[in-house]
């Protein structure tokens, strides 16, 4: 029964601005070929890597990665240069790109040159092709050095296993990105692809699976992720490069597995789609069966004023953030809930609640834009659903008052340079005093 849901879900994840991305890749390649290769080619000496190159990007992708192959004579020139050769190389590449993209805040950032456009951030790695197909690139730290990398081997090995699994590997990597963006899971795309690769290689029984099997497969995948270590290290497919985690993901994976199991036990297509949308976000469409037949229609479940962070900013979750709240009455704090499990938190009307950022791995919140969202649900919330994005006033907190019973939630979003880099949600259950 869920095949129709997952088939549409995968379709919705497709990158919608692929042509725009491709055009920018070509413009960057042509510019660098002109200045470093005496060529006007839009394709030569350029390799698309990262999630877009591996075919695992989803709609709304913000980070685009590419390798540009400088000539062997440039390697000798920068390697023999007095001072920091890699830094000088990045500056030359930066100046070249400014000829085509004047006014863009292009900068050298470690081993790459970053070019932030309106909804896309390109990272260009200047490198030197080796006989075996790998590259040597420059590291600017500690006076400069040269290191090996092999993104082509990673891309080719990922493609091989994806083809051997009838596309399952790429589909799982895309679905995990939707889950990451929905729940604020601080896990890189490179690690997502690596973990999905390891999972698919270890599960040959799923190779050739159809969309009818996808719910069972994602349950298996989330169970697999929940059993890993948040601070572990893995080897990238093809290259064997070390891939580490910079955030926590196992607890959220365990919760996702539980929600997917509940969805599997649900009898109706509408019920399954609602539950799975809670796991994967808005790309998983809500469905409603009408008249007991096959006629289905999409239905909107948002409030009339509700806004979504995905509509305003690109999603690039790379940090953890956790909000908590304290309850007060007549300006006296009654309970700080930071140590109380969220499932036991039940409030009564007439209380003041201060939500605040309790923990985060974002280096400097003061240079970020922070938004809060309050969403009221249930029968008593009709006409008062809310859901607007509210700017933080500089204190990293938001105060609300409990007015009527029902399920509610508060979310926080951390935005930097036009990208949402962290998010969290705190559920709030308000019940009338004396009720069970």
CATH number, domain with residue 360: 2.60.40.10
Same domain, 293 and 317: no
pLDDT at 327: 80
212 and 334 inside one domain: no
User: Does residue 14 belong to any structural domain of this protein?
Assistant: no
What's the pLDDT at 233? Answer: 94
Q: Are residues 66 and 165 in the same domain?
A: no
Q: Is residue 10 part of a domain?
A: no
* Final residue belonging to a domain, choices 241, 273, 298: 298
343: containing domain: 309-430
Inside any domain, residue 9: no
pLDDT at 296: 34
Residue with tokens 């050095």: 145
The pLDDT score that the predictor gives to residue 126 is 98
**Residue 299 has what pLDDT?**
33
CATH number at residue 41: 3.30.460.90
Q: What is the pLDDT of residue 285?
A: 85
Domain count along the chain: 3
Q: Indicate if the alpha-carbon torsion angle 108, 109, 115, 116 is positive or negative.
A: negative
In a domain, 140, yes or no: yes
> Do 163 and 269 sit in the same domain of this protein?
yes
Per-residue pLDDT of the chain (436 residues; tens, 9 = 90+): 799 999 999 999 999 999 999 999 999 999 999 999 999 999 999 999 999 999 999 998 889 999 999 999 999 999 988 889 999 999 999 999 999 999 899 999 889 999 998 778 999 999 999 999 999 999 999 889 999 999 999 999 999 999 999 999 999 999 999 999 999 999 999 999 999 999 999 999 999 999 999 999 999 999 999 999 999 999 999 999 999 998 899 999 999 999 999 999 998 989 999 999 999 999 998 865 432 333 333 334 556 788 999 999 989 899 999 998 888 766 555 555 554 445 445 565 667 888 999 999 999 999 999 999 998 877 776 777 888 999 999 999 999 877 666 678 899 999 998 899 999 998 877 665 555 4
Does residue 145 sit in the same domain as residue 57?
Answer: yes
What secondary structure, in 3-state letters, does the chain show?
A: CCHHHHHHHHHHCCCCCHHHHHHHHHHHHHHHHHHHHCCCCCCCCEEEEHHHHHCCCCCCCCEEEEEEEECHHHHHHHHCCCCCHHHHHHHHHHHHHHHHCCCCCCEEECCEEEEECCCCEEEEEEEEECCCCCEEEEECHHHCEEEEECHHHHHHHHHHHHHHCCCHHHHHHHHHHHHHHHHCCCCCHHHHHHHHHHHHHHCHHHCCCCHHHHHHHHHHHHHHHHCCCCCCEEECCCCCCEEECCCCCHHHHHHHHHHHHHHHHCCCHHHHHHHHHHHHCCCCCCEEECCCCCCEEECCCCCCCCCCHHHHCEECCCCCEEEEEEEEECCEEEEEHHHCCHHHCEECCCCEEEEEEEEECCCCHHHCEEEEEEEECCHHHCCCCEEEEEECCCCCEEEEECCCCEEEEEEEEEEECCEEEEEEEEEEEECCCCCC
User: What's the pLDDT at 194?
Assistant: 98
Question: Residue 423: what pLDDT?
Answer: 96
Q: Indicate whether 169 and 279 sit together in one domain.
A: yes
One domain, residues 86 and 130 = yes
> Which among 149, 167, 191 is the end of a domain?
149
* Residue 29 sits in the same domain as residue 142: yes
Burial of 227 (C-beta count, 10 Å sphere; 0-12/13-18/19+):
exposed
In a domain, 12, yes or no: no
Do 120 and 218 share a domain, yes or no?
no
Query: Are 144 and 269 members of one domain?
Result: no
Cβ neighbours for 216, distance < 8 A, ≥ 6 positions apart: 264
Is residue 144, in this structure, part of any structural domain at all? Answer: yes
| The overall pTM is greater than 0.95 | no
The answer to whether residues 401 and 316 belong to one domain is yes
Q: Does residue 13 sit within a domain?
A: no
CA distance 356 to 400: 11
Residue pair 177/59 in contact (Cβ under 8 Å)? The answer is no
Give yes or no: residues 161 and 285 share one domain.
yes
Among 298, 318, 340, residue at a domain's last position: 298
Residue 4 lies inside a defined structural domain of this protein: no
- Please give the pLDDT value at position 273: 93
Round to whole Å and give the CA distance between 91 and 372: 39
């Amino acid at each position: 029964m869920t095949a129709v849901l997952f088939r549409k879900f995968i379709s919705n994840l497709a990158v919608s601005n692929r042509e725009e991305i491709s055009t920018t890749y070509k413009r960057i390649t042509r510019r660098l070929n002109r200045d470093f290769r005496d060529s006007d080619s839009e394709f030569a000496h350029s390799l698309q890597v990262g999630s877009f190159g591996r075919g695992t990007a989803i709609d709304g992708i913000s980070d685009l990665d590419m390798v540009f192959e400088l000539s062997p004579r440039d390697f000798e020139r920068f390697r023999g240069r007095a001072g920091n050769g890699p830094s000088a190389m990045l500056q030359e590449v930066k100046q070249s790109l400014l000829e085509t993209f004047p006014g863009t805040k292009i900068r050298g950032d470690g081993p790459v040159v970053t070019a932030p456009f309106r909804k896309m951030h390109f990272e260009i790695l200047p490198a030197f092709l080796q006989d075996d197909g790998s590259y040597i690139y420059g590291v600017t730290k500690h006076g400069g050095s040269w290191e090996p990398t092999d993104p082509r081997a990673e891309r080719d090995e990922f493609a091989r296993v994806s083809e051997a699994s009838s596309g399952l590997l790429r589909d799982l990597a895309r679905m995990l990105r939707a889950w990451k963006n929905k729940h604020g899971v601080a896990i890189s795309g490179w690690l997502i692809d690596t973990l999905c690769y390891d999972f698919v290689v270890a599960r040959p029984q799923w190779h050739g699976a159809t969309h009818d099997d996808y719910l069972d497969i994602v349950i298996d995948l989330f169970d697999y992720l929940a059993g890993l270590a948040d601070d572990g290290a893995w080897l990238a497919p093809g290259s064997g490069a070390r891939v580490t985690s910079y955030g926590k993901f196992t607890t959220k994976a365990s919760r996702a597995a539980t929600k997917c199991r509940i969805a599997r036990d649900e009898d109706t297509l509408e019920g399954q789609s609602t539950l799975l949308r809670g796991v994967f976000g808005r790309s998983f469409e809500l469905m409603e069966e009408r008249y007991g037949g096959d006629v289905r229609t999409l239905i909107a479940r948002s409030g009339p004023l509700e806004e979504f962070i995905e509509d305003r900013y690109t999603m690039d979750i790379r940090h953890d953030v956790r909000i908590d709240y304290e309850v007060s009455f007549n300006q006296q704090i009654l309970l700080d809930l930071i140590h109380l499990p969220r499932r036991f938190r039940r409030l009564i009307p007439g209380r003041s609640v201060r939500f605040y950022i309790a923990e985060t791995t974002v280096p400097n919140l003061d240079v970020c834009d922070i938004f809060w969202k309050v969403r009221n649900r249930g029968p008593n919330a009709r006409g008062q659903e809310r859901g607007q994005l509210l700017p933080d006033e500089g204190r990293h907190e938001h105060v609300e008052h409990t007015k009527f019973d029902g399920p509610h939630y508060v979310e926080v979003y951390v935005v930097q340079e036009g990208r949402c880099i962290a998010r969290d949600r705190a559920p709030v259950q308000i019940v009338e005093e004396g009720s069970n």
